[in-house]
Amino acid sequence: MLLDVALPLSLAFIMFSLGYGLTFADFGRVLAVPRAAIAGIVLQVVAVPLVSFLCLQLVDLPPAMAFGVMILAFCPGGVTSNILTKIAGGTVALSITLTAVVSLMSVATVPVLVGWAATTFLGDAAETINVTAIAVSMFAITAVPVVLGLLIRFLAEDFAQRTEALVSRLALILFVVIVVAALASNWGLFVENIGHLGPLLIAMNAVLLVLGMGIARAIGLNGADGVCISIEMGVQNAALGITVAGLVAQVGGIPEYAVPAAVYGITMYIVTIPGIFVLRKVFGEA
């Protein structure tokens, strides 16, 4: 099926665009600003799934939808988080570093956490999760494209700088196409569950934004770093969530597990863009 090929290839290009905007120095910032970087990484990898799990205890979602929410929560920050951080006055260098590091870490973290979530939320109805196969697939469609983009940027920096805007625009278009395709493929499920799913995802997004800013300021980070960490927590890689859902289901097309990621791919911008400016006022200007 064309979609089965187009979906991972589209995600691979999106991840390539992330690497295309990176330099090796971006990874060095983990050592240069360890408190901000470590806080951002821990909050993304630990706090986002924990908040999502707790939110799911408050609503009555079908098991497949709940599982889909957790798949989304295991994903790293979205590739557009860097742009939103810049617009909101956050620390862009930190945002780039967090997105890159957590994206590469996700090759190891996501398959293991997905296996746990499948057992927890689907029980006996859970698919047989081949953690190794998912890890290998994720490595091929996430880590490899990021490294490839990074190497091209390193070897042909002038060319990369001239074409970076075009690559980013193409990646954004592919992201929109993936989200639309996921919703279109599961339109009946989307309509049936939007009454519970929409408010849950919006509330979850708002909690993550507040938590990110609040913890950043509580540990003494400046407002710009707080904005960055808040956005990294609130903006997830929905395209990866949709793709992972497909890897788990092992069926043609886009499965129902992908619906939460597709919906969040839209609502996260509706919540995050105004929300981050409100938080800047509440916690003080960045």
Tally of helices (H runs) and strands (E runs) in the chain: 14, 0
Give the DSSP per-residue string, 184-212.
Answer: HHTHHHHHHHHHHHHHHHHHHHHHHHHHH
Residue 86 has a CB neighbour count (10 Å cut-off) of 15
Q: How far is CA 135 from CA 55, 142, 182, 244, in A?
A: 27, 10, 22, 10
Residue 277: its pLDDT value, please?
85
Q: Which residues pair with 236 in a beta bridge?
A: 77
Contact call for residues 5 and 243 (beta carbons, < 8 A): no
Question: Token pair for residue 4?
Answer: 């089965």
Q: Hunting for tokens 């060319």 — which residue is that?
A: 159
Region 256-269: what's the mean pLDDT? 89
Average pLDDT value over all residues in the chain: 85
Region 226-230: what's the mean pLDDT? 92
pLDDT in tens, 65-84: 999 999 999 998 877 888 88
- Checking if the pLDDT of 229 tops 90, the result is yes
Residue 286: its pLDDT value, please?
46
pLDDT in tens, 160-180: 888 988 988 888 888 888 888
CATH 3.40.50.620 fits 2-283, yes or no: no
Region 239-254: what's the mean pLDDT? 79
- Checking if the pLDDT of 3 tops 70, the result is no
Q: How far is CA 4 from CA 27, 92, 246, in A?
A: 33, 34, 8
